[in-house]
Structure 1
Amino acid sequence: MDYGHPERADRLAAEYAAGLLRGGARRRFERLLPAHPALAAAAAQWADRLELLGNRIQPVEPPARVWIGIQRKLFGAANDAQAPSPVSPVSLVRPDRHQDRQLRVWRVIGSAALAASVALGFLVIRPVEPQAPIVVVLHETPQGLALSKTGFVASVSPDGRALVLKPLGPMKIEASQALELWAVPAEGTPRSLGLLASGDGATTVVRAGLLKGTKAFAVSLEPAGGSPTGQPSGPVVSAGNV
């Protein structure tokens, strides 16, 4: 998934700041923050927005009899002697008009706040439907079995703007050689997507239209620094259809 996409980063950050990401999804989001500046910036902006909104809400002190009612439900009537009772026992049974009006106002305020929160959740923090990446397996060619002896797996973001290529085993090439990734069209010449990372690490490519007109991905063995011709000049060691 392309976490640098502005709209996707903003929606995920909104869910995180509002506490809608739970469990594994929340932990996964927190692990992504250090590696994705756009995601971290969006999360910080949403935290500031919600903090500002919270500071504008004036606290409402509920009537004392509400706390007494809560204590009765939690601890029973035996706790009444220890509970603060600023109002008379008669008012506990039948509140006067002023207290009853206060209670109704407090309930209206609470209901309105709840309705506003639900509306905000639907209008601003809409859930993002996850989209699976497109996975392409690049198998070894006969030349590849004799050289690098490994295949690759490519994960392409659903919008076709990012690709992560990982080797399926150790790559063994000479110091004077390099592996280069190519997008192969149905017709025409392949276009280079850059050199593969050294060692067994993953290679990340960020480029618009990675899948546009692409029929297959291929890896060729080239001199250090890449193909001198702009086209595959060495043997193709691994390839896979999209």
Structure 2
Amino acid sequence: MTGETRRYESDELQELLASGYVAGALQGPARRRFETLMRSRPALRRRVEAWENRLTALNDTTPAVPPPAHVWRAVQRRIAPASAAPAAATSAGGFWNSLTFWRPFGAAAACLALLVTAYAGYQATRPATPQIAEAPAQVQPSYVAVLEDEANQPVLVVTAFKGPWRLTVEPLRDLTPYQGPAQGKVFQVWAIEKETGATRPLLQVSSGDVLREPLGEDGWNAIKTSESLAVTLEDAGPAPAAPSGPPLFSGLCLNLKGPTEI
């Protein structure tokens, strides 16, 4: 089993990919690669079937509810042509506020975010049913972000857990080509705040190994108030106050627990 194949043995990654496949967020080569994996992994097929059953039940039992106006505005901001944005906003915010960059990542991830959030709300409101005693369930992540490069290829999966607060960063491919010839550089992970677009440093990644780090209260607040996560290449050492250049990877930060998560 190769290192690339072993990455797909992660329960967290399998759950994320299965939900994305059912929601339609996996497209192109990534979707075909996932279908190939399913043919040799019965457990992966079962996860897909479970997500299909969940979303089918949601579709059959939940009445249609018009989305609030602010939801449509948020979606439009992600997928509208860059020409629709005022020129002043682009010049003031620079690359980090440019719709040109965020547009490729927005539509599929927004679809998955709405489905996951709606399902969480459905689960919270459905009548309780008697439960048979089972072994303690594995702790599920509260937030997840799949960070993609400029070619829309997934590079990192970032998951955030509570109880205790902690963060896991799992590379999906070799990071060396993204570093180039530069020496003494690290990949800095940033949280991009929803309301203001402000960047807040989370942690640094220096190798292709899975990284697990505890989060303090400031780090958890940065995650739960973020719209997306991004990664830049920075000098090793203390995190800079702001990114020194455009992001190498980025992706929306999805709340897997629904609106009740704090």
Does the pair score TM above 0.5?
no
Tell me the TM-score normalised to structure 1 length.
Answer: 0.40
Structure with higher helix content: 2
Larger Rg belongs to: 1
Tell me the TM-score normalised to structure 2 length.
Answer: 0.37
